[in-house]
A and B are shown apart, each in its own frame.
Chain A
Amino acid sequence: MGRVRTPRDVARRPPVPGGELATIPALARLLPFARPALPRLAVGLLSALGASLAALAIPRVLQRIVDGPLADGVRAGGLNTLWGPVGLVLLLGLAEAGLILARRTLVMFPANDVEADLRMTLFRHLQDLPIAFHDRWPGGQLLSRSMSDLGLLRRWLVFGQIQLVVSCVTVVVGMTLLVTSTGWLGLVYLAGAAPVSVIAFRFARRFRVVSRRAQDQAGDLATTVEESVHGIRVLKAFGRGSDALASFTGQAERLRTTELAKARAQASFNVTLTLIPELTLAACLVVGALQVHGGHLTIGALTGFFATVAVMGGSVVDLGMTLSMTLNARTAVDRYFDVLTTPNPLTDPDRPTAPPSAPGGAHVRLRDVTFRYDDATRPVLEHVDLDLPAGTTTALVGLTGSGKSTLAMLIPRLFDATAGTVELDGIDVRHLRRADVRRAVAVAFEDPTLFSASVRENVLLGIDDDTEDGGPGADGTGTRHDAILEEALDVAQAGFARHLPHGVETRIGEEGLSLSGGQRQRLALARAIAAHPRVLVLDDPLSALDVATEEAVTARLRDVLRTTTTLVIAHRPSTVALADRVAVLQDGRITAVGTHSELLATDAHYRYVISSLEDDAAQHGIGTLTPPEPALDDSARDGQRDAQHDDEATGARL
């Protein structure tokens, strides 16, 4: 729900290469994509030209007939002389229709292929771009580029570009015909049409600006729609639907204003585009009649003139339409390339180091790491040194907003450190392929994202599905993947999934069954475990779990973590209990590393962050950290497992 809505996209947009290009070079950036389609496009263009030439030729033939057999009249006995030209008209008519059919068929496929190709290229690029990019760009802007802008482009490719060339050629050929066949009359018409091109040029400049604004605003509107749906629960909880509607309306009103400005520009252009040629035509009529009267022109030539002008007049009006279409397409191309040419600062190295393949946990090391968000002034992390020996579990503890999650995101290289290095078994993660880093490192995010897919697919997300048998989604029959799935669900206490309507094949996520926060968190945890990574990054993985479930998860997790290097972000002592050692992050620096009890005894900040019993933390904290006994007896636990028909599973995610 945007309230004060400055043109976000415009403001945030990086300086655009090509933003100042002329329309033709701007559109020429499409060439690499259009190359395979060029031959067909060219033939299509020829067909279109042929069709319009046929259309132009028909009046000429009519002129012949009027001047020839008909003027000679009955005395020539010329019924036979009539059939020839009639046959010609028929042929031309067939040719026109045939060529139009050919053009459409020829252009249709490549144009749609180009669009699909552009769309896939954009999608690939977006997936390649780092999270930082996605944090910055509103979703609606990306969506509007991928759908409406490319849709505009498709229509331009199918109709616009060819129409543009054809209209221009028609006008030029028509003019030439007029001038050569009717001399002065043609020149008069030509003189009248000249100002149109100047006006068209000025129109183009004005229109382009408005067109860009309209498309940007449409993208912002899409963003607002997206947010209003994703945030529907908040809007409902506070009863702010009408406020959201009001602000959406304001935004839509602004878009309407822009669109109306666009229409006004189009309207005045249309007026000049019809008025000037038509007025010239009136002059030509008078001049032509006088010329016929003076014997300088035949009636047939005058008829031919007007027939040609009739055909051309259509093209002139079309030119107005196709010009604005071209300008819209150009804006679409600009907007598209804004994203496509955004350089990716987080890429695979040119010569990637082979990933270390030692079994078991990897040794993770952060050396003098500083991290600052692109648009921030102060770094979030400063000179962080953190050593995570292979196979150990380290809890990262710090106040909310101290940079814990940011630090965690550096390990799977979702972000790159601004300075310093993150190493995996001694290798800088930037020297490894991203896929290799992320195969080694699995993350459970604090916001568990589940996809519209089955529980199985969601949990087995991090497993390469290159193996044919038992890949995620396949009806694996007791394969390795099934075992992994079972284990992961067990460890994460996500057994509820088996009792969903279709068991682990139940579709969840946005398009499926809604799950509660705790359930989603457990599945996200199961997903990270199932990946069997060498390094596991858990971002506050137990926050939404109740005490009993948390204990059960903790107990099982400790087994799993034995062979994995783990960094777990913890807000509570119960989560810290998973760890061998604790690192304290304060104001972007690691201020202390040690065991829980050591730190409780020595580190005041740690005590402040982790202890609920502020005052007696010191005394109490010396104690050991044995995993507490489960609070519920077994029968109660079973009862809980059976409670698959719970409110959360059946429906409501709040």
Chain B
Amino acid sequence: MTSADPGDRLTRTESRAVRARSLTLLRDLLRPHTRLLTGSAALVVTATAGQVAGPALVAATIDHAIPALDQGNSRPLLVYGVLLVVAATAAGLANGAYVRAAATISQAVLLDLRRRVFRQTQRLSLEFHETYTSGRIISRQTSDLEALRELLDGGLTGVVANLLTMTFTGVGLALLDWRSAVVLAAAMAPAWLLTRWFQRRSQVFYRRQRTASARLIVQFVETMTGMRAVQAFRREAHTEREYGRYATAYRDANLDTFSLNGRYQPGLVLIGNLTVAAALAYGGWRVLHGYLAIGVLVAALLYVKRFFAPIQQIGMFYNSFQSATAALEKLSGLLAEEPTVVEPARPVPLPAARGDLRLDQVTFRYPRGPVVLPDLDLHIPAGQTVALVGTTGAGKSTLAKLVTRFYDATSGAVLLDDVDVRDLAGADLRRNVVMVTQEAYLFSGSVRENIALGRPGATQAEIEAAARAVGAHHFILAMPEGYDTDVNKRGGRVSAGQRQLLSFARAFLADPAVLVLDEATSSLDIPGERLVQRGLKTLLAGRTAIIIAHRLSTVAGADRVLVMERGRVVEDGTPTELITAAGRYARLHAAWQDSLV
């Protein structure tokens, strides 16, 4: 787990900071809905007032309307009856409106948060994604959001309703019979203590539950993603054990929260019932001594009973609040991550780059890692095709990642058309510099959509042209629905070579000034590669290209070859020059020649 993922055991200050961060996020999410929140609070007040009016009207009927009726006056009964209808209608309608308002707020907040998390995951640098697993991001987007949703649906404003009910009931009781109200007030002390106890423990338990849920999801996602290997290597029993371990931990975490809540709730009920009994004893004693009217006692008892109904609800609310805050802690942690590759505050505009690349005294080291590029000076004029050759670990891929700004140089600068890439807006950079990698990921959707990723909004003709250029058109047409064929999950039905062709077509369509190919042809067969070579000739004409390839066939067409070793360029020249120079490249070339038939 990284620092982004607070464990369950935090020091008091850490815990407070994390909690404060998550509450800030909650406030921030709710801010745009202040008016609706106020509105729904008003609805709640109406609904509550209508509900509270009930017992009062009943009491008034018993104490006043029935005696009046006995005296032949039916007006009070009529008035109270009508009032009750009004109260009921108001309460009912307000309640319905409130449910809708609460859902509107809840769904808006969830949408907002989903988008924030999604945007944040896209914004964060690769460095982050290399340690924060996909499963954890998924768990943020699913189970953590659900925890928040429960709070919002269960009524952030619902708690207002309940607090109001209690206040109204309490005030009503105090007005009716202040002595009973004192009994009630006395009961608040143990209720408060119980709540404090619950709060302390639930904070820890819910944090643990969130972590357990994330681990379970991570394990699930990893197993499902790697199912081929799991089955081929008979790991079912092993993964089942592992998953079972996490599932048990998750169950236990749930049990902890349930059992905590299972003591808190009856505790509140107990306090409520004891209070009713006390109020009855005290009130009954006073009635017997003639200090209190029967009707008043009945109403007072109803009030006391009612007072404690919402306290249970508040207990439930508090429970989901604790759960949601634990989830928000995780979510706000993810949102607080800062990308290591940052967008410039004032970007230099670069609508259409020529493609002149310059690396100016570039040093690069991975965080906590050794130096990969000690000091690199390199100029690639616009339109040049450069092949990078060298053993694994020579720094070729690193160079590619610096040029495409997947990483930033530790020192020195990477310049595109003499503009530091760090000063370019992301959109400008990505339009001008595109990289195709070995792993050609396909998204679920049609073939067409996958190619169109290179340039959304491209016409069918343009998409087909791109596919033709890389030699993918033919096999696409052979698919059941041609360009509309669904590539399925992870492109299951498309071979690795075909996937690479599709991702080439993407790059073709993107039409960048600088194209970086990092092992982009490794899974192609020879005819496929030949087609791509041919396509590349057109594609690369007038473009800057950096090609990293183990296959020297891809290198042969380059204007210039750079042989890299340990982060330095050790040979630099045209392919022909280097072959005659009888250096490393010449040796590699000879070996490659031998391997051909």
Contacts and interface: CB of A to CB of B under 8 A. Distances in A.
B526 A610 contact: yes
Interface in A315-356: none
A643 B122 contact: no
A451 B305 CA distance: 57
B445 interface: yes
A195 interface: no
A139 B225 contact: yes
A200 B431 CA distance: 56
B266 A101 contact: yes
Contacts of A124: 236, 240
A128 B234 CA distance: 11
A511 B126 CA distance: 14
B449 A104 contact: no
A644 to B, nearest CB: 8
A540 B137 contact: no
A283 B77 CA distance: 11
Report whether over half of chain A's contact residues are helix, strand or loop; otherwise say mixed. helix
Given A100-B265, A259-B107, A540 B280 contact: no
Contacts of B134: 226, 229-230, 510
Interface in B34-50: none
Given A292-B66, A612-B596, A643-B566, A127 B391 contact: no
A626 B2 CA distance: 50
B104 A260 contact: yes
Contacts of A401: 475, 478, 494-495, 497-498
Contact of A239 (B69, B222, B431, B478): B431
B526 A571 contact: yes
A303 interface: yes
Contacts, number: 600
B270 A281 contact: no
B247 interface: yes
A591 interface: no
B217 A574 contact: no
A285 B550 contact: no
A180 interface: no
A30 interface: no
B285 A82 contact: yes
A231 B443 contact: yes
B366 A651 contact: yes
A28 interface: no
B288 interface: yes
A640 B488 CA distance: 39
Nearest to A223: B444
A283 B78 CA distance: 10
Interface string B256-271: 0011011101110110
B258 A158 contact: yes
B399 to A, nearest CB: 9
Given A243-B456, A572-B595, A400 B437 contact: no
Interface stretch (A67-75, A359-367, A483-491): A67-75
Interface in A248-301: 248-249, 252-253, 256, 259-260, 262-264, 266-268, 270-272, 274-275, 278-279, 281-283, 285-286, 289-290, 292-293, 299
Contact of B298 (A3, A278, A303): A303
Given A267-B99, A438-B231, A574-B595, A310 B306 contact: yes
* Ranked 4 nearest A-B pairs via Cβ: A646-B393, A239-B430, A93-B273, A263-B103
Given A266-B103, A399-B527, A548-B391, 8 more contacts: A4-B445, A148-B142, A230-B441, A237-B436, A278-B91, A293-B69, A414-B228, A551-B595
29 contacts: A112-B255, A131-B228, A134-B227, A143-B138, A229-B129, A237-B406, A239-B431, A241-B122, A241-B123, A241-B426, A262-B103, A263-B99, A263-B103, A282-B81, A283-B81, A286-B81, A289-B65, A310-B54, A399-B528, A400-B495, A400-B524, A400-B525, A451-B222, A573-B597, A609-B525, A610-B526, A612-B553, A647-B393, A654-B439
